[in-house]
Amino acid sequence: MSSIAANLLRPVVICGPSGTGKSTLLKKLFNEFPDKFGFSISHTTRAPRPGEERGVSYHYVSRESFVELVQQDGFIEHAEFSGNMYGTSVKSVEDVKQGGKMCILDIDTQGVKLIKANHPHLDPLYVFISPPSLASLKTRLAGRGTESDHSMQARLAAAVGELEYAKSGAFDVVVVNDDLERAYAKLRRVVVDRDLEAGDQLPDFAAEQ
C-alpha cells in the first residue's frame, strides 16, 4: 500500500457524548459511501446465535484465549457483560485497513485514552462530535425517548466530563452537530477528503454549568 493510500485509510475514531448524534451522522456516511468504510469485528466468549457467522458477526473464542489476548495487550478495550467477555482487538482494526477500507471506531473517551496510552501505532484520526450546547443535548436525549430520568442524569454528567476532555485538545477535529446537514457536510470533508481544517471550534460550555 502506498503511503498516500495508507494515510487515507487511517482509522477514524468518532467520539462524543451520548445523544450528540454520532449514530445519525455515521448512518448518513455509510449510506452515501457504502464501500468505503468498515467496522472492526469484535471478539466474544459467548456462543454464536442462529444466523450469526464466525469471523463475520464476531470472532468467537474461548475464555482462555480471550484472557490470553488480554494479557498480550491485544485489545483496545474489553468488558464483561452478563457473564460473557467482549472486546475490540488491535488486529481487527488493522485488518479493516488491510482489506482496503477505513475503520470507523465509535468509542467513548475512555477508549480514546486507552488507544493513546497503549496503542498509539494505530494512529487514528480523532474526531469529536459535539452538541451545540448542553441544553440541546438534553432535548435530543429526551426526544429520542430511550432514557429513564436516572439514565438521562448519568448521561448528562458523563457528557460534562467528555466535553472537559475535548477541551484539553485530545481531538484532531471537532464537528458541532447543530444543523444535521451542515454537520454532515463537515464530517464528510474531514473523514472522506481528509480536510482537517474543515472542523469547528468547540463551543464554550462553561457558561451553562
Ligand X SMILES: Nc1ncnc2c1ncn2[C@@H]1O[C@H](COP(=O)(O)OP(=O)(O)OP(=O)(O)O)[C@@H](O)[C@H]1O
Residues that bind ligand X (CB under 6 A): 16, 18-24, 140, 143-144, 177, 179-180, 183
Least Å from the CB of residue 187 to ligand X: 11
Cβ of residue 29: shortest distance to ligand X, in angstroms?
12
Nearer to ligand X, 46 or 138 (CB): 138
Q: What is the chain's alpha carbon radius of gyration, rounded to the nearest angstrom?
A: 18
Q: Give exposure, 49-60, as e/b (b: 16+ Cβ within 10 Å).
A: eeeeeeeeebbb
Nearest to 132 by CA among 25, 205, 28, 188: 205
Toward ligand X, which CB reaches closer, 24 or 70? 24
CB of 169 to ligand X, least distance (A): 21
> How far out from the chain centre does Cα 192 lie?
16
Q: Please, what is the minimum distance in Å from the beta carbon of residue 155 to ligand X?
A: 7
Give whichever of 125 and 162 is closer to ligand X, judged by the CB atom.
162
Q: What share of the chain is helix, strand, coil (3-state, %, to 5)?
A: 45, 20, 35
Question: Measured from the CB atom, is 67 or 156 closer to ligand X?
Answer: 156
